[in-house]
């Protein structure tokens, strides 16, 4: 019955749009309520967006949920759609899947836009200048938590080698999105500390991709696919260096073309084409799209179009970035935190060990920064703490591969939750302490992203 | 194997994002190349976006295509993804479906944002003042093409009654999106003619939904579901009047809440929540989401936030609206226009009749405007000509219901193509003629949308 199928699909179309609009309404309400509450008690608003996401997500209201696991997921949003639009269960499931797919991609485009904006507000010369320090921070921040976590789990908790390596790997991640957003809110993105954190977080993202590839192949086949790892490392190096070199060569040509254009949105659309091309290349060579977007932002920041572009990208970021943070919160199942559930206790004990390693392992990285006097070393270490969505990816791959026990999987999730939610307020504290010292003098106000800062 | 399925889905995620980014790159290139070429030969840039869409769509390059029909669709974009990312055929098909779903929803959100922006730039008081004239234009523009088309097809072409009624119904549509975009580009949106066209196009959209519901039930069951039609009519009336009355009552409260907010994007996100709520309600009562967005724009245009909101919505429209116009073009299969193919000839003969009825049936509506001296009646009639995406919906429902012969279906598509592509240049001609007359004096420059106008 191909004709019938066609009618059905055409008939479902408006409902997919309706359910996406409904999801966006819920996401925006959660983001704004959470963000405003946090702003009022002097916390970064991104924390509010994460907490708002937890409340509307799988942990509480079940409004923003994703049918990706094996078990059927209950969506209160779909109940509401059913109530208002009267649909058959089959149609409802198809709509639910399409809606989740669209919201997931919108969230991913959101973080692509966020990294593009962060790149635009960063200073390539400063990043290159602090490059060696950022590299040391990134490498120490990967090696120390990985070794301490893996060895500790084997020694103190009798965990087998492969799951211990997996958990150790999850400890290496840094969520560049969360850190960058908090730095922007605190107007410290362009400070020396801010640029070291951003540089280290970008390198950490690359290292994280390599670590994940290694442990995933280890979990699947018990062996490490050396060629794949070498390919990833070379790809990442060539991409980061190559895109910036070629991009800088081509950017005068870009400005010339844009100046010739007469139709509406010429700067914005040309820049998005550029950013999406680099994002696509990064994704195609198995890096992450956000790395391409960041590189594109860095390159365009050096052109005469920077200011105009910052103004135009700002409302787009306002529209799409909250989708990312709220869905990160919505994906997080905080029921593993409940100590009253006896099943959780073993996980919580392991988790407290992982949390300590996760925090200490990153905080010490700040003290490895060399050749910089009067720098806020604590702020750099704290900036590397949040695991965020990167940690959730590790937990998800680990759960799916079957190598992690339930309690170890829960412990990783608790570690991710804790580091993600504790980092934004901590960052505000450690940067505020720094207000008198002279390193704050480097910080030029990051005008486009500064509204949230209330102090 | 639920675990394996989970891994697969998680592994496909990055490729869905990559393919969406690739689609957006193609869409933006098509929109900008087409738009810039049209701007250079003094044609509205939206025509260039439609033509760009045809070139990248199913008619030529097969880059932006949608797997919605019964037959397998070949996507050159997926070939490229396959080439760069090495995926299995099954995975590729899943990615193709998700990518198409996301692009379709982005296009729909694009037209929602467009209508919100059009509402923001419209003047509710002026719309109410020209309401009676707009209503006459809308009703005449539905009745005349419908009757002339249906009777003509039966009398001259021996078409059976039900398919003739279907084709007649397809003649009633007006694409509010295309007309509004051209008016904005010509800076005539806020002229008296512009507001009559917008008012009539909105009413025509409502009438079109009712007509489509009637003919679809006629095609399916041979009978008209009277209760459903009455429900639609009452729903539309209550929604349009109610949303504007209640919205105006609530808008001071809205401004007060927004003024209390401290986080970034407060005006934009609050307005989007408002617009999406009205869009959802409109979609849920089987009207169209765009009607809700238009009403929201009209209401917010009367608040003190109008200017700030116009500035912020503009880059979002620049980003999403081209997705809509390019996909409208991409959906259009212009192979039915080829007279060298003997299969097309019968359709082309019927099509030439439909095109004549389609144009005359709308152009005369301008001459029914009463009580307005010195008004550009030709411009009003021409503004109602483009059938655009609304006409394609009729053709799609007709093809799926099986009541249309192949030649009649092709004839409707030709009529839609012709009216859609001829209206933008015609509108420019008839409004330019009017430059000396005093009715142009009402037109205040529509600052945010005016860049494309080169004269």
What secondary structure letter does DSSP report for A61?
A: T
Do A167 and A25 share a domain, yes or no? no
Tens-place pLDDT, residues A21-37: 999 999 999 999 999 99
Mean pLDDT of all residues in B83-110: 89
pTM of the entire predicted model = 0.89
**Inter-chain residue contact B288 with A20, CB threshold 8 Å:** no
Decide if A454 is inside a domain: no
Higher pLDDT: B450 or B422? It is B422
Percentage with pLDDT > 90 across chain B:
52
Helix axes B406-433, B45-56, angle to 10 degrees: 150
Do B300 and B404 share a domain, yes or no? yes
pLDDT of residue A433: 66
Give φ, ψ of A451 to 5 degrees: -55, -30
What sign has the CA pseudo-torsion A428, A432, A435, A436?
Answer: negative
Degrees, nearest 5: CA angle A134-A140-A144: 155
Higher pLDDT: A218 or B138? It is B138
Using CB atoms, pick whichever of A29, A316, A449 lies closest to residue B264.
A449
Decide if B455 is inside a domain: no
Cα–Cα distance measured from residue B453 to residue B443, given in angstroms and rounded to the nearest whole number: 14
Whole-number average pLDDT of chain A? 86
CB contact at 8 A, A297 and A119: yes
- Residues A276-283: contacts with CB under 8 Å, at least 24 apart: A276/A112, A276/B21, A276/B22, A276/B24, A276/B25, A276/B28, A277/B25, A278/A243, A278/A247, A279/A112, A279/B21, A280/B18, A280/B21, A280/B22, A280/B25, A281/A239, A281/A243, A282/A239, A283/B14, A283/B15, A283/B17, A283/B18, A283/B21
ipTM: 0.89
Residues of A in Cβ contact (< 8 Å) with B288: 14
**Inter-chain residue contact B6 with A70, CB threshold 8 Å:** yes
In terms of residue numbers, what domain contains B352? 105-449
Lookup: tokens for A251: 């950017």
Give φ, ψ of A376 to 5 degrees: -80, 85
CB contact at 8 A, B237 and B203: no
Decide if B153 is inside a domain: yes
Lookup: tokens for A99: 């809606």
Nearest to A277 by CA among B313, B46, B109, B84: B84
pLDDT of residue A71: 65
Helix (H, G, I), strand (E, B) or coil at A169: helix
pLDDT of residue A5: 38
Tens-place pLDDT, residues A366-411: 999 988 888 899 999 999 999 887 887 787 777 777 788 888 988 9
Question: Last residue of a domain, which of A50, A84, A104?
Answer: A104
CB contact at 8 A, B189 and B431: no
Nearest to B362 by CA among B206, B174, B186: B174
pLDDT of residue B332: 84
pLDDT of residue B69: 61
Decide if A72 is inside a domain: yes
Within 10 Å of residue A95's Cβ, how many Cβ atoms?
Answer: 24
Do A76 and A140 share a domain, yes or no? no
What secondary structure letter does DSSP report for A438?
A: G
Percentage with pLDDT > 90 across chain A:
52
pLDDT of residue B71: 65
Do B274 and B290 share a domain, yes or no? yes
Residue A142, H or E segment: helix A131-157
- Choice among B10-19, B202-211, B365-374 with the minimum mean pLDDT: B10-19
What secondary structure letter does DSSP report for B285?
A: T
Tens-place pLDDT, residues B288-329: 899 999 999 999 999 999 999 999 999 999 999 999 999 988
Tens-place pLDDT, residues B114-127: 999 999 988 888 88
**Inter-chain residue contact B101 with A104, CB threshold 8 Å:** no
Closest-CA residue of B relative to A71 is B2
| Nearest-neighbour CA in chain A from B262: distance (Å) | 6
With a cut of 80, say whether residue B448 has pLDDT above it. Answer: no
Do B134 and B56 share a domain, yes or no? no
Q: Where are the beta strands (DSSP E) in B77-147?
A: none
Tens-place pLDDT, residues B231-284: 888 988 899 899 999 998 999 999 999 999 988 889 999 999 999 999 999 988
Residues of B in Cβ contact (< 8 Å) with A318: 264-265, 268-269, 312
Decide if A269 is inside a domain: yes
Q: Which of A78-82, A90-94, A302-306 ranks highest by mean pLDDT? A: A302-306
For residue B413, CA distances in Å to B180, B256, B331 come to 22, 49, 11
Do A34 and A171 share a domain, yes or no? no
Decide if B7 is inside a domain: yes
Do A14 and A137 share a domain, yes or no? no
Tens-place pLDDT, residues A51-88: 999 999 988 999 999 886 656 778 899 888 888 877 78
Query: Maximum Cα–Cα distance for chain A, whole Å?
Result: 74
Q: Which of A263, A276, A284, A327 to probe the B interface (max B CBs under 10 A)?
A: A263
Residues of A in Cβ contact (< 8 Å) with B25: 273, 276-277, 280
pLDDT of residue B209: 82
CA A98, distance to chain mean position in Å, is 23
Cα–Cα distance measured from residue B198 to residue B439, given in angstroms and rounded to the nearest whole number: 16
Nearest to A299 by CA among A244, A240, A242, A241: A244
Cα–Cα distance measured from residue A451 to residue A60, given in angstroms and rounded to the nearest whole number: 30
Using CB atoms, pick whichever of A24, A35, A102 lies closest to residue B101.
A102
Confidence category of residue A440, pLDDT binned at 50, 70, 90: very low
pLDDT of residue A216: 78
Do A34 and A174 share a domain, yes or no? no
Question: Last residue of a domain, which of A74, A104, A134?
Answer: A104
Q: Which of A264, A276, A323 to probe the B interface (max B CBs under 10 A)?
A: A264
Closest-CA residue of A relative to B15 is A283
Higher pLDDT: A392 or A1? It is A392
Do B319 and B392 share a domain, yes or no? yes
With a cut of 90, say whether residue B454 has pLDDT above it. Answer: no
With a cut of 60, say whether residue A442 has pLDDT above it. Answer: no
Tens-place pLDDT, residues B373-432: 888 999 999 999 998 878 877 887 777 777 888 889 889 989 998 999 999 999 999 988
**Inter-chain residue contact B108 with A17, CB threshold 8 Å:** yes
With a cut of 70, say whether residue B70 has pLDDT above it. Answer: no
**Inter-chain residue contact B68 with A109, CB threshold 8 Å:** no
Cα–Cα distance measured from residue B97 to residue A328, given in angstroms and rounded to the nearest whole number: 24
DSSP B322-354: HHHHHHHHHH--GGGG-TTSHHHHHHHHHHHHH
Cα–Cα distance measured from residue B383 to residue B398, given in angstroms and rounded to the nearest whole number: 25
Nearest to A318 by CA among B31, B309, B290: B309
- The CATH number of the domain where A320 resides is what? 1.20.1530.20
Using CB atoms, pick whichever of A6, A112, A284 lies closest to residue B68.
A6
**Inter-chain residue contact A24 with B272, CB threshold 8 Å:** yes
pLDDT of residue B255: 94
Do A22 and A111 share a domain, yes or no? no
Residue A433, H or E segment: helix A406-433
Decide if B87 is inside a domain: yes
| Nearest-neighbour CA in chain A from B147: distance (Å) | 27
Within 10 Å of residue B419's Cβ, how many Cβ atoms?
Answer: 26
**Inter-chain residue contact B262 with A318, CB threshold 8 Å:** no
Residues of B in Cβ contact (< 8 Å) with A274: none
pLDDT of residue A351: 94
Nearest to B20 by CA among B74, B95, B73: B95
Closest-CA residue of B relative to A1 is B70
CB contact at 8 A, B64 and B52: no
| Nearest-neighbour CA in chain A from B402: distance (Å) | 8
Tens-place pLDDT, residues B331-361: 888 888 888 888 888 889 999 999 999 999 9
**Inter-chain residue contact A264 with B28, CB threshold 8 Å:** no
Decide if A309 is inside a domain: yes
Residues of A in Cβ contact (< 8 Å) with B14: 283, 288-289
CB contact at 8 A, A35 and A49: yes
What sign has the CA pseudo-torsion A381, A383, A386, A391?
Answer: negative
Domain count, chain A: 2
Confidence category of residue B446, pLDDT binned at 50, 70, 90: very low
Cα–Cα distance measured from residue A422 to residue A415, given in angstroms and rounded to the nearest whole number: 11
Cα–Cα distance measured from residue A398 to residue A405, given in angstroms and rounded to the nearest whole number: 9
Cα–Cα distance measured from residue A450 to residue A190, given in angstroms and rounded to the nearest whole number: 12
Do A15 and A117 share a domain, yes or no? no
Nearest to A184 by CA among A286, A333, A45: A45
Question: Last residue of a domain, which of A104, A128, A148?
Answer: A104
Residues of A in Cβ contact (< 8 Å) with B314: 315
Do A181 and A94 share a domain, yes or no? no
Report the first-to-last Cα separation within chain B, whole angstroms: 64
């Amino acid at each position: 019955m191909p004709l019938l199928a066609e009618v059905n699909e055409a008939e479902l179309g408006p409902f997919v749009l309706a359910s996406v609009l409904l999801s966006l309404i819920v996401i925006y309400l959660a983001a704004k309520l959470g963000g405003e509450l946090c702003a009022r008690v002097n916390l970064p608003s991104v924390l509010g967006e994460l907490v708002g996401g937890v409340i509307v997500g799988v942990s509480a209201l079940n409004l923003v949920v994703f049918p990706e696991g094996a078990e059927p997921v209950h969506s209160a949003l779909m109940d509401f759609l059913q109530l208002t639009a009267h649909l058959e269960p089959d149609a409802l499931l198809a709509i639910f899947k399409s809606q989740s797919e669209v919201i997931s991609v919108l969230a991913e485009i959101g973080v692509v836009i966020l990294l593009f904006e962060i790149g635009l507000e960063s200073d390539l010369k400063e990043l290159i200048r602090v490059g060696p320090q950022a590299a040391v921070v990134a490498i120490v921040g990967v090696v120390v938590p990985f070794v301490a976590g893996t060895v500790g789990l084997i020694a103190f908790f009798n965990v087998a080698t492969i799951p211990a390596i997996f958990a150790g790997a999850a400890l290496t991640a840094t969520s560049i999105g969360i850190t960058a957003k908090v730095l922007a809110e605190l107007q410290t993105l362009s400070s020396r500390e801010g640029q070291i954190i951003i540089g280290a977080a970008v390198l950490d993202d690359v290292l994280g991709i390599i670590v994940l590839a290694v442990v995933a192949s280890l979990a699947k086949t018990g062996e490490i696919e050396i060629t794949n790892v070498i390919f990833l490392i070379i790809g990442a190096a060539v991409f980061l260096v190559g895109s910036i070199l070629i991009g800088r060569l081509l950017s005068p040509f870009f400005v010339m073309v844009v100046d010739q254009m007469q139709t509406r949105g010429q700067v914005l659309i040309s820049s998005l084409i550029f950013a999406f091309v680099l994002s696509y290349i990064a994704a195609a060579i198995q890096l992450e799209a956000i790395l391409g977007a960041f590189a594109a932002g860095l390159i365009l920041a050096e052109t005469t179009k920077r200011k105009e572009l910052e103004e135009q990208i700002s409302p787009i970021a306002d529209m799409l970035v909250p989708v990312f943070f709220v869905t990160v919160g919505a994906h997080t199942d905080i029921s593993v935190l409940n100590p009253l559930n006896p099943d959780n206790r073993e996980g919580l004990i392991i988790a407290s060990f992982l949390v300590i390693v996760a925090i200490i392992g990153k905080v010490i990285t700040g003290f490895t920064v060399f050749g910089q006097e009067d720098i806020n070393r604590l702020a750099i270490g704290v900036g590397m703490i949040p695991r965020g969505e990167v940690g959730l990816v590790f937990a998800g791959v680990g759960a799916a591969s079957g190598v992690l026990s339930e309690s170890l999987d829960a412990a990783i999730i608790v570690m991710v939750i804790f580091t993600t939610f504790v980092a934004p307020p901590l960052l505000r504290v450690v940067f505020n302490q720094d207000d008198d010292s002279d390193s704050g003098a480097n910080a030029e106000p990051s005008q486009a992203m500064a509204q949230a800062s209330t102090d």
